Amino acid sequence: MDRRLFVSDLARYAALCAVVPNVWRVTSRPRFADDPFALGVASGDPTPTGGVLWTRLAPRPFEPDGGMEGTRVTVDWEVADDDGFTKVVQKGRATAAPELSFSVHIDVTGLLPDRWYFYRFRSGDAVSQVGRLRTTPTDGAVTPLAFAFASCQNWEQGLFTAYEHMANEELDLVAHLGDYIYEYAGNPRGVRMHHGLEIRTLDDYRRRYAQYKSDPLLQAAHRRCPWVVTWDDHEVDNNYAGLAGENNMESTEQMRARRAAAYQAWWEHQPVRVPRVQSWADLSITRTINWGALARFWVLDTRQYRDDQACGDGTKPFCDEARDPRRGLLGAAQESWLLDGLGRSRSRWQVLAQQVMMGPYDAAEGDEVRTSMDQWSGYPAARDRLLGEIAKRAPNRTVAITGDIHSNWVNELRSDFSRPDRPVVAAEFVGTSIASGGNGGPVPPARLADMKRENPHLKWFENRRGYVTCTVNRDTWRADYRSVPFVDKPGAPIATASSWRLEHGRAGITAL
Ligand SMILES: [Fe+2]
């Protein structure tokens, strides 16, 4: 090569380097004009020796890249015995990068079982708020557990007041059963408004999570204790089933792209430990969390692997399609994983942390039957398979905790709902929504009586916002339905609307 040409090429290259930042450089001393930890911190998926710590750097959450302007930064983390961080027991350094929206997931190990810890993050001069992590008891220990479960927090339909109260409860764990975000376009008639149109792309989902995560009451509940999170439909698209979208307008390719965006954004924003996958569209979040030998949480996904809703979805009489025994809600792999696992698990209580109601609900009076094709009722053969196996492998020590339906239900689950003489083998507590559905209100006693007459397994129903706390011991399980009277303005008080008790190995749910 001509030397003169080579020198001129070098000069051009040097000039280029001066204007294009090196995208792989990691900055250990970033300067932030705004708090990069504005979306809070969280811990989750605890083990006897650790758990996952989460944050996402976003100094200006609604700008592209959350205001990080493409800069990779180091994030230091610390875990301590005390909230003053005088006794740091673990620490390390991670990199926050644009590919994963500057989220940080630290899977901490080496901690002691059955203990509270405190954690925080630091980047440059910025220090996050302090969160709490509790490790689980050792494998053989039957240690009591206090946990809450929640779901369905439509930003536009109500304030997250319930979380303000949850953050004041003495809880070891929170289970979130999905509808953490809603995908809909902004509606000016809500209590508050979504930014932007219906979300479809990765950046759309990221911005929507940023909006929800900016809520200080949600952040307070995350700081309080570790969470175990699964998803429902609205993390992607209302009532989607596998690769079938809500409105059937989307092709399979579009749904795969949408699922990939939605699942990636979900992972980026939750303190979870799930296996790596080749494609975000196939992210599997099915997993177990053990609380010593007391309880095993089976974290289920009833959206990604289900067959499409039968009979055109909606609340309908059964058509032949609904009764097809080949149809499933969990998919074959997840179903056999669960059924085999229930047989092998030595935990005192088996907890199915899942989305849609398992107990049937007949909405029609008299002989006519109309039921939701989106719930387990729309997949009756799959429900009978599951409850039949529970009857054999873990009767009356299996509890389904359920979200989705924005109301409170207590259901006794029978091994076969087509035959009323079959025994009660499990309990279902359907928690209500945090915000979805707005204020709600009391159910007239006559209506509840009508509902119970059509649905004798139904013990209680109400239409209030809130969450459920559970106190689990070796031989008993207590569930308290906590509810707030309104969500359209701040400051609602919390009260226990109703309390229920299970006895290990004994059929039925008792009112307290
Ligand atoms: Fe919902």
Residue 99 tokens, joined: 């590919």
How remote is the CA of residue 35 from the centroid of ligand 1, in Å? 31
pTM for the model: 0.94
Checking if the pLDDT of 19 tops 80, the result is: no
Report the candidate in 137, 113, 170, 144 with the shortest Cα–Cα distance to residue 474: 144
Burial class (CB in 10 A: 0-12, 13-18, 19+), 141: middle
pLDDT tens digits, 340-383: 999 999 999 999 999 999 999 999 988 899 999 999 999 999 99
Residue showing tokens 């942390």: 353
DSSP string, 141-180: ----EEEEEE----TTT---HHHHHHTTS--SEEEE-S-S
How remote is the CA of residue 448 from the centroid of ligand 1, in Å? 22
Checking if the pLDDT of 12 tops 60, the result is: no
How remote is the CA of residue 423 from the centroid of ligand 1, in Å? 31
Please give the helix or strand (H or E) that residue 350 lies within, else none.
strand 349-353
pLDDT of amino acid 249: 82
How remote is the CA of residue 165 from the centroid of ligand 1, in Å? 20
How remote is the CA of residue 159 from the centroid of ligand 1, in Å? 15
How remote is the CA of residue 184 from the centroid of ligand 1, in Å? 12
pLDDT tens digits, 406-435: 999 999 999 988 887 899 999 999 999 999
pLDDT of amino acid 180: 98
pLDDT of amino acid 497: 96
How remote is the CA of residue 404 from the centroid of ligand 1, in Å? 5
How remote is the CA of residue 430 from the centroid of ligand 1, in Å? 12
How remote is the CA of residue 303 from the centroid of ligand 1, in Å? 13
How remote is the CA of residue 485 from the centroid of ligand 1, in Å? 19
Percent above pLDDT 70 for the chain: 96
Q: Are the C-beta atoms of 261 and 201 separated by less than 8 Å?
A: yes
How remote is the CA of residue 487 from the centroid of ligand 1, in Å? 15
**pLDDT mean over 112-123:** 98
- Amino acid letter for position 294: L
Q: 16 falls in which pLDDT band (50, 70, 90)?
A: very low
How remote is the CA of residue 477 from the centroid of ligand 1, in Å? 26
How remote is the CA of residue 112 from the centroid of ligand 1, in Å? 37
Q: How far apart are CA 347 and CA 397, in angstroms?
A: 9
Angle at 241 between CA 240 and CA 242, to 5 degrees: 120
Checking if the pLDDT of 103 tops 70, the result is: yes
How remote is the CA of residue 408 from the centroid of ligand 1, in Å? 13
pLDDT of amino acid 113: 98
How remote is the CA of residue 233 from the centroid of ligand 1, in Å? 8
How remote is the CA of residue 433 from the centroid of ligand 1, in Å? 7
pLDDT of amino acid 21: 54
How remote is the CA of residue 489 from the centroid of ligand 1, in Å? 20
Q: Are the C-beta atoms of 401 and 389 separated by less than 8 Å?
A: no
Instruction: Output the average pLDDT for the chain.
Output: 94
Contacts of 482 (CB under 8 A, 6+ apart): 148, 162, 165, 166, 466, 467, 468, 469, 494, 495, 496, 497
Checking if the pLDDT of 75 tops 80, the result is: yes
pLDDT of amino acid 17: 44
Please give the helix or strand (H or E) that residue 468 lies within, else none.
strand 458-472
How remote is the CA of residue 53 from the centroid of ligand 1, in Å? 26
Please give the helix or strand (H or E) that residue 7 lies within, else none.
helix 3-19
